[in-house]
């Protein structure tokens, strides 16, 4: 049986998972309503966070044609999870590049396409959502071609095949004028354009892991591409280190003829069928399988039957851009809600995360006691926020500091900071305010394109300038704008960035919040707490428009008296509170504050709770 290995890549919300689900339904691998996004956070947010594997068989066994196994990797589209895409691209032979027929190429489209072209892959372009009222497929096709040229594609890559699709309805066509009822044109294109997975089956087996999983009974599992030979359940193998959980930079310096790190036995092999994993006895060169039995394997490790086999090239991942400190919660409410509250438990959980999250780096600060807690480096606010949200739901309780961008020095001693390219789609009347806000934060306007009453604005801005802006962007555009960003490079430090400074409304008493007190306080700013919520001294219960902190008493009740006066018994009307979640708290917090994260609550507090 021939094998084809493909990954579906695109900007966030361009329809990758929807198309994968439609391919599985048409080939009979899953039933209606089953989706690849099975994680609770993915379902809530409607985005893919973790890369996942599936496989379909086409054409059907009763068609009279030879059946081909198509291994598909569904990847995340958000730039903060770019490391998930980077490690997957090494294990496949072609990518399906999805582009929205209305939005066209977006920042993450550029990022994933650049990585694919650098690896020499020839993409198949799918212009998706052609049924949108504002779809412009012909124009988007030209924009994609321009992007290929801009990224330095060679002649073969420029001769890409284009398929038009409506992923939601499971329809694909080669020309816009064609009639089609299903995804057969796309499946036929995959068979025709994607090279059959290659590899000499007569050589000793050699695999490389590009993803990890965990099973309560089997322990750590590794998803691997078989590059050479045939691997069987029960085989004794040698593991040579590629990229480790420590640093991708260290992996680059390792010799290709490295000594085996350890020897182990493969206890089980699994292949993928739809959303299920199916146990198998063997896997041949070109296939993608999941293996069990190697408890200390990491992403990028080479697994080989021969002790002298060459190590496969390491998987290189782009550097993190922001950092936060994770600390043991020491607030007055510490230990009330959390199941795992100690520094040792938090460290063990972070060490476990390092095994599968290659975009993450951690400094334990064992030799630097002046730094509190553990310093966690990530690819963006959402990258770390997802980790914190998962920990919160698992029962962890901790506190974290304000996000800071990573400042480096080059060989000449010049300070360097990360820059991002921001793409904004807004209506004409709102474009001015968005450009004004971003240029105030040291953004540089690079292009403005106007189409049908909307503008696409591209601005290059320091990551420092973008931190904390997304919430303001929603307010400025009344929720009608789209903002996307991607990391470009480290550039020279631009100095101080002016941002709108809000003071914090800090509780100076402990107890239950009363509506009477909030009625007076809401005139000073935005509130984060509702009546009846218990607060402590030093907790931030809101913000004030003036830049200075305001210490208040939210537990103050109405003074009881026998005297009656006109207006004294008026009803209290409270405005809706600004409900804090982890990402919102990151945006509004100050440098002298912590976010307290527990399984039931997200609170802001001052680092020093009493003045």
CATH number of the domain within which 572 lies: 2.40.50.250
Q: Are residues 9 and 121 in the same domain?
A: yes
* For the chain, percent of residues with pLDDT exceeding 90: 59
CA distance 492 to 508: 42
Domain region containing 60: 2-193
Retrieve residue 131's tokens: 């049924």
CA distance 521 to 535: 15
Tokens 């310093």 belong to which residue? 375
Domain boundary among the residues 272, 304, 336 is at 304
> Would you tell me how many other CB atoms lie within 10 Å of the CB of residue 375?
18
Q: Are residues 463 and 517 in the same domain?
A: no
CA distance 17 to 35: 8
- CA distance between the termini of the chain: 72
CA distance 209 to 417: 32
Q: Are residues 132 and 250 in the same domain?
A: no
pLDDT in tens, 90-100: 889 999 999 99
CATH number of the domain within which 247 lies: 2.40.30.10
Peptide bond into 59 cis (omega under 30): yes
What local confidence, expressed as pLDDT, does residue 372 receive? Answer: 82
What local confidence, expressed as pLDDT, does residue 257 receive? Answer: 40
- Structurally, how many domains does the chain consist of? 4
Highest-pLDDT range among 109-118, 120-129, 484-493, 498-507: 120-129
CB 203 within 8 A of CB 228: yes
pLDDT in tens, 394-429: 999 999 999 999 999 888 889 999 999 999 999 999
Q: Are residues 35 and 174 in the same domain?
A: yes
Q: Are residues 576 and 481 in the same domain?
A: no
DSSP alpha helix (H) spans, 194-284: 248-252
Evaluate whether residue 216 is within a structural domain. Answer: yes
Q: Which of 304, 87, 116 is nearest to 210 (CA)?
A: 87
How far CA 609 is from CA of 506, 537, 594, in Å, comes to 9, 6, 10
Is a pLDDT exceeding 90 seen at residue 606? yes
Is a pLDDT exceeding 50 seen at residue 498? yes
CA distance 325 to 404: 9
CA distance 40 to 43: 5
Which H or E run includes 516?
helix 515-521
Q: What is the mean pLDDT of residues 567-589?
A: 84
Evaluate whether residue 353 is within a structural domain. Answer: no
CA distance 300 to 332: 44
Q: What is the mean pLDDT of residues 474-502?
A: 86
Evaluate whether residue 497 is within a structural domain. Answer: no
Evaluate whether residue 398 is within a structural domain. Answer: no
Query: Residues 6 or more apart from 221 whose CB is under 8 A from it?
Result: 212, 213, 214, 215, 270, 290, 291, 292
CATH number of the domain within which 484 lies: 3.30.70.240
Q: Are residues 554 and 577 in the same domain?
A: yes
CA distance 604 to 583: 12
Predicted confidence band of residue 304 (pLDDT cuts 50, 70, 90):
very high
Evaluate whether residue 562 is within a structural domain. Answer: yes
Which H or E run includes 17?
helix 16-26
Evaluate whether residue 48 is within a structural domain. Answer: yes
pTM for the full model?
0.85
Q: Are residues 19 and 134 in the same domain?
A: yes
Is a pLDDT exceeding 70 seen at residue 298? yes
Q: Are residues 134 and 92 in the same domain?
A: yes
Show the CA angle centred on residue 16, arms to residues 12 and 21, nearest 5°: 140
Domain boundary among the residues 158, 193, 228 is at 193
Tokens 């036929």 belong to which residue? 188
Q: Are residues 57 and 117 in the same domain?
A: yes
Domain boundary among the residues 462, 492, 522 is at 492
The DSSP code for 187 is H
Evaluate whether residue 225 is within a structural domain. Answer: yes
HEC string for 461-489: EEHHHHCCCHHHHHHHCCCCCEEEEEEEE
Predicted confidence band of residue 567 (pLDDT cuts 50, 70, 90):
low
HEC string for 401-450: CCCEECCEECCCCCEEEEEEEEEEEEEHHHHHHHHHHHHHCCCEEEEEEE
Give the distance, in angstroms, between the CA of residue 163 and the centroid of all CA atoms in the same chain: 27
Is a pLDDT exceeding 70 seen at residue 293? yes
Evaluate whether residue 198 is within a structural domain. Answer: no
pLDDT in tens, 364-379: 988 887 788 999 999 8
pLDDT in tens, 261-283: 789 999 999 999 888 889 999 99
Q: Are residues 45 and 136 in the same domain?
A: yes
Q: What is the mean pLDDT of residues 177-189?
A: 93
Retrieve residue 124's tokens: 């198949």
More confident: 61 or 553: 553
Q: Are residues 39 and 112 in the same domain?
A: yes
Q: Are residues 522 and 583 in the same domain?
A: yes
């Amino acid at each position: 049986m021939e094998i084809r290995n493909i990954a579906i890549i695109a900007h966030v919300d361009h329809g990758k998972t929807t198309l994968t689900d439609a391919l599985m339904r048409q080939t009979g691998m899953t039933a209606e309503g089953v989706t690849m996004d099975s994680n609770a956070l993915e379902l809530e947010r409607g985005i893919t966070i973790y890369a996942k594997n599936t496989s379909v068989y086409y054409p059907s066994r009763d068609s009279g044609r030879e059946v081909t196994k198509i291994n598909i990797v569904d990847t995340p589209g958000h730039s903060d999870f770019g490391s998930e895409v980077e490690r997957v691209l090494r294990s496949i032979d072609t990518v399906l590049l999805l582009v929205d027929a209305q939005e066209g190429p977006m920042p993450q489209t550029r990022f994933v396409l650049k990585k694919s072209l650098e690896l020499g892959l020839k993409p198949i372009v799918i212009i998706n959502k052609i049924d949108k009222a504002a779809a412009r497929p012909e124009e988007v096709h030209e924009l994609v071609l321009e992007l290929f040229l801009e990224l330095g594609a060679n002649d073969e890559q420029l001769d890409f095949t284009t398929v038009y699709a409506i992923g939601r309805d499971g329809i694909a066509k080669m020309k816009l004028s064609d009639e089609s009822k299903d995804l057969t044109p796309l499946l036929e294109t995959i068979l025709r354009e994607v090279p059959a997975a290659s590899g000499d089956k007569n050589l000793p087996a050699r695999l490389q892991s590009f993803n990890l999983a965990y099973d309560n009974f089997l322990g750590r599992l590794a998803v691997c591409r078989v590059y050479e030979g045939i691997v069987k359940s029960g085989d004794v193998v040698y593991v040579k280190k590629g990229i480790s959980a420590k640093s991708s930079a260290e992996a680059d310096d390792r010799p290709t003829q490295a000594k085996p790190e350890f020897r182990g036995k493969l206890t089980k092999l699994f292949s993928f069928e739809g959303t299920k994993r199916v146990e198998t006895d063997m896997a041949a060169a070109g296939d993608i399988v999941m293996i069990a039995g190697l408890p200390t394997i990491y992403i990028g490790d080479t697994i080989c039957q021969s002790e002298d086999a060459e190590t496969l090239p390491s998987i290189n991942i782009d550097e993190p851009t922001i950092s936060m400190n994770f600390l043991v919660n020491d607030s007055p409410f510490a230990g009330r809600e959390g199941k795992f509250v100690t520094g040792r438990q938090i460290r063990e959980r972070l060490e476990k995360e390092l095994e599968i999250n290659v975009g993450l780096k951690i400094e334990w600060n064992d030799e630097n006691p002046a730094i509190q807690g553990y310093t966690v480096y990530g690819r963006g606010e959402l990258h770390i926020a997802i980790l914190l949200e998962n920990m919160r739901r698992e029962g962890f309780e901790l506190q974290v500091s304000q996000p800071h961008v990573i400042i480096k020095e080059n060989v000449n001693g010049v300070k360097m900071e990360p820059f991002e390219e921001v793409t904004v789609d807004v209506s004409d009347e709102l474009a001015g305010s968005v450009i004004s806000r971003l240029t105030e934060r040291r953004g540089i306007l690079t292009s403005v394109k106007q189409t049908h009453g909307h503008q696409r604005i591209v601005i290059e801005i320091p990551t420092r300038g973008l931190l904390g802006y997304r919430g303001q962007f929603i307010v400025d555009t009344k929720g009608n704008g789209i903002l996307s960003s991607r990391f470009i490079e480290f550039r020279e430090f631009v100095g101080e960035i002016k941002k709108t400074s809000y003071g914090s409304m800090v509780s100076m008493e402990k107890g239950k919040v009363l509506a009477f007190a909030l009625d007076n306080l809401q005139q000073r700013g935005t509130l984060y707490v509702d009546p009846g919520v218990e607060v402590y001294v030093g907790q931030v219960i809101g913000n004030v428009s003036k830049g200075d902190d305001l210490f208040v008493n939210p537990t103050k009740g109405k003074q009881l008296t026998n005297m009656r006066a006109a207006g004294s018994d008026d009803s209290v009307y409270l405005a809706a509170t600004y409900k804090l979640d982890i990402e919102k708290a990151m945006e509004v917090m100050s440098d002298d504050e912590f976010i307290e994260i527990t399984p039931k609550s997200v609170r802001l507090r001052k680092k020093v709770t009493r003045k």
